[in-house]
Chain A
Amino acid sequence: MELGLTANDWLLAAPFLWLAGAGVLVLIWDAVRPQPLAEGIVSWIGLGLAAVACLPILEAVRTEPVEAFSGMLSVNVPVIVLAILCLGAAAFCGIVAWRSLLPYEGGRHTTAFWTLLLFSTFGMVLTLWANHMATLFLGVECLSLPLYVLVALRRDQSDSIEAGLKYFLLGAFASGFMAFGMAMVYAATGDMSPAAISAAAEGSSLGVFGVALLLIALLFKVAAVPFHLWVADVYQGAPTPVTALMATGTKAATVAALLRWAPGGELMGPQSWAMLGCLTLLIGNLTALNQSNLKRMLALSGVAHVGILLFAFAARAAAETAEATSQIGDTLGYYLVAYGLAATAAFGALELLERRVGHSESASLQGIARRQPLLAGVLCIALLSLAGFPLTAGFLAKYFVFVEMIRHGLSSWAVIGILLTLFGFAYYLKALVTLFMQEPPEERPSLWRPDWVATMALLVPTVLSVVFGVWPKAIQL
């Protein structure tokens, strides 16, 4: 029996096989003999094996990008590092959800949680790998559909339902834009590879319109201004472990997709990207400043981070040599890793604090550092890394982006970006003042108990944030 698959096909398909295999196995397990612990272990093993399967790909792409399935999938180094980040975020989401989300409603959604988590991660990796519009659409849909359900998993809480519905309706709209845009680009160029984007952008108005629709859909998925309005409500209403996954995995996958599928040249020149980034940064910072809920604040700080990522897109649009372009790709990868680690740690710590005080309003988190020094410390490092404080990965990530901008002649935009970033310090420091420097309110007795496994897991992204901040070569992009 001749399968017609090359060695590269198997190499790139391996992570998908592990993820989908684990997802199907969880379903069978639940059908035959429901056992929450076994389902969790199967899922973690699946995620772990998928990450292990990424390592030989990483070795293979060190020299040059690898393609598979006749060019439907293609990977380079940053893409694989981001895939490992997504897998790690999913495993972390499972660990944090273990004691809060999984026992919800008597644990009847355990199987749903694990299968949806695995399939959503599958979609993230596929979005990263995708080098053809069909695989891109498949990846984005496979990423989004399970997330709609995961967001609304706590189905007796109105904010969770609201978040799920808003995310679903707006996400479905964006998917429609994406499919329509792809169809137009194909109609204009007869090609569905990333090369079709630049060909369509310079050609007929049909192609330009298609590229614009595709761009809108991707900007919605990465939550850039003016398509960011869903973020605050969805991140706030979603169960916090799922928010951590969305902030890390979804953002990494979609920004990487935007990098591959974004038009450059005359349609979206450096100035346009920089203006979009500046607007996103400004509005993200301004809206984050006034939030009384820490989760909302972190969601909108995520919007501000997208602004800086768009600045890197501006530098890429201005770059002339292929070497400079790939250098900026590495910078973006480093930024996404730094942001992902900090966001994972921040949302994870927030989840554990929420369990103690009941919700994430900053009024009830006043002075929590006295009662929970370790968790508050983790949150502190995460917030500093998000703000861009020196000695954290967040600082170097921002530094690299601004250096690239100055190198490619966008100095004035870089200055605006730096000023807006400094302005952003205000709300991170406001949160830190709330956590550390205010008197804690009288505590009501509760059945709260510490979750040491999740706390230990939280230390991993926190320590990595500092390690990568001091020693950026460790990522080896």
Chain B
Amino acid sequence: MLATYAPLLAWLALVLAFVVGILALTAWIGRPQAATGKGDPYECGMIPRGDARHRFSVHYYLVAVLFILFDVEALFLILWALKARSLGLVGLVEVGLFLAVLAVGWLHIWRRGGLEWDR
């Protein structure tokens, strides 16, 4: 029974030996030095500057919420698209009504200035 797991055990031992070996090798061959920037957070190769604690415009959240709303509503279109042929004209009219109601909401947001970034 346990014999079936022998390759796995061997593999585990190899992995452990590899990790320990590499660590030992780097400690032996490598020349550890306290270079500048080694402790900095990695930011896609860019040098991070300034404080991360910005004051975001509250407007940012409004845009985010609106995005989520319309994004989630758009999911319903996928469900309709899967069955578009069998639902036929009735389905098209129904999804059209749905989009029309959505468009009214969008129109309202637009006219009330919800989409203006620097307000």
Contacts and interface: CB of A to CB of B under 8 A. Distances in A.
Contacts of B112: 30-31
A200 to B, nearest CB: 28
B44 interface: no
A418 B111 CA distance: 57
B111 A24 contact: no
Contact of B89 (A1, A31, A111): A1
Contacts of A4: 90
Given A24-B101, A24-B104, A30 B111 contact: yes
Contacts of B77: none
A30 B108 contact: yes
B90 A31 contact: no
B104 A2 contact: no
Interface string A2-31: 111000000000000000000010011011
B74 interface: no
Contact of A1 (B93, B101, B107, B111): B93
A3 B90 CA distance: 6
Nearest to B101: A24
Contacts of B107: 27-28, 31
Interface string B53-70: 000000000000000000
A32 B89 CA distance: 30
B110 interface: yes
Question: Chain A: interface residue count, which band?
Answer: 10 to 19
A31 B101 contact: no
A27 B108 contact: yes
A369 B107 CA distance: 49
| Chain B at the A interface: SS class | helix
Nearest to A5: B90
Interface in B90-119: 90, 93, 101, 104-105, 107-108, 110-112
B104 A28 contact: yes
A30 B112 CA distance: 8
Contacts of B105: 27
Contacts of A24: 101, 104
A31 B107 CA distance: 6
Given A30-B111, A30-B112, A31-B111, A1 B104 contact: no
Contacts of A28: 104, 107-108
Interface in A77-119: 111
A32 B90 CA distance: 30
Contacts of B101: 24
A17 to B, nearest CB: 11
B108 A31 contact: yes
A232 B54 CA distance: 39
Most buried by A among B93, B105, B108, B112: B108
Which residue, A1, A27, A32, A111, has most C-beta atoms of chain B within 10 A? A27
Nearest to B89: A1
Contacts of B89: 1
B104 A27 contact: yes
B94 to A, nearest CB: 9
A308 B89 CA distance: 52
A31 B111 CA distance: 5
A31 B110 contact: yes
Contacts of A1: 89-90, 93
Nearest to A24: B104
Interface in A96-153: 111
26 contacts: A1-B89, A1-B90, A1-B93, A2-B90, A3-B90, A4-B90, A24-B101, A24-B104, A27-B104, A27-B105, A27-B107, A27-B108, A28-B104, A28-B107, A28-B108, A30-B108, A30-B111, A30-B112, A31-B104, A31-B107, A31-B108, A31-B110, A31-B111, A31-B112, A32-B111, A111-B108
